[in-house]
Amino acid sequence: MSATQPCILIVEDEPSQREVLNYNLTAEGFRVVQATSGDEGLLLVREEMPDAIVLDWMLPGVSGIEVCRQIKSVSETKGIPVIMLSARSEEVDKVRGLETGADDYVVKPYSIKELIARVRAQLRRTRAAAIGELLVFEDIILDGETHRVTRGGIEVKLGPTEFRLLSHFIEKPGRVWPREQLLDRVWGRDAFMDTRTVDVHVGRLRKALKATGGSDPIRTVRGAGYALG
């Protein structure tokens, strides 16, 4: 499994359908692994640990639903997104009803562009979950869930305003934020605050970040505002 080239497993018994999927997903830069039956699909899931699975409902032998159910019942594989292909919309309803745990459903005949968009959406979702809302800039790590910030592994103690300021900075490193814009975003549009308030809190944020022993990561851009990095 490569970070730059996600692996997609296709489980589809119809050669022409498989070929279209293989051709287009490969052209999109994915590494594609193909299975022609449910059994082979289950084997390849364990062998390849793909980043996503495009799974046909109607398969000879083990059905797509059973394949999905098995993938979702094993802790090692249940996080892999499964996009189920189905011939009829009634089947999709049935898949939903069966609660197989499929992450998305596409009805045949489908647009390959739409399918690829859905694959990409699933990959984005699992990637976001894997990093757990962590925002990173150099040695600074901001955890959006626990509201904790560390620098070089040392905890940075921040007040809520400084935390919000850093959240904005770290989401777009290098971007210069005018003071007025920071006032709007961090304090709210209706806040009757002077832009000097921004200077005070940026000053506190700098002090807290430097307290861990690192250099000042925030830049003051004359006549423009502040930037991280």
Name the site residues for Ca ion (rule: CB under 5 A).
Answer: 13, 56, 58
* CB nearer to Ca ion: pick between 58 and 62: 58
Residue least distant from Ca ion (Cβ): 58
* CB nearer to Ca ion: pick between 40 and 56: 56
* CB nearer to Ca ion: pick between 31 and 108: 108
10 three-class SS: strand
What is the longest distance spanned by two Cα atoms in the chain?
70
State the nearest-atom distance from the C-beta of 53 to Ca ion, in Å: 15
CA-CA distances (angstroms) from residue 74 to 8, 40, 70, 85, 127? 19, 17, 7, 21, 20
* CB nearer to Ca ion: pick between 13 and 91: 13
Dihedral class, residue 223 (left if φ above 0, else alpha if ψ from -120 to 50, else beta): left
State the nearest-atom distance from the C-beta of 51 to Ca ion, in Å: 23
Place of tokens 């901001």: 142
State the nearest-atom distance from the C-beta of 105 to Ca ion, in Å: 15
State the nearest-atom distance from the C-beta of 41 to Ca ion, in Å: 12
State the nearest-atom distance from the C-beta of 63 to Ca ion, in Å: 10
74 three-class SS: coil
* Bridge pairing between strands 104-107 and 82-86: parallel
Please list, in sequence order, all residues whose beta carbon lies within 8 angstroms of the beta carbon of residue 203, skipping any fewer than 6 positions away.
Answer: none
* CB nearer to Ca ion: pick between 15 and 159: 15
CA dihedral defined by 69, 70, 72, 78, rounded to 10 degrees?
Answer: -160
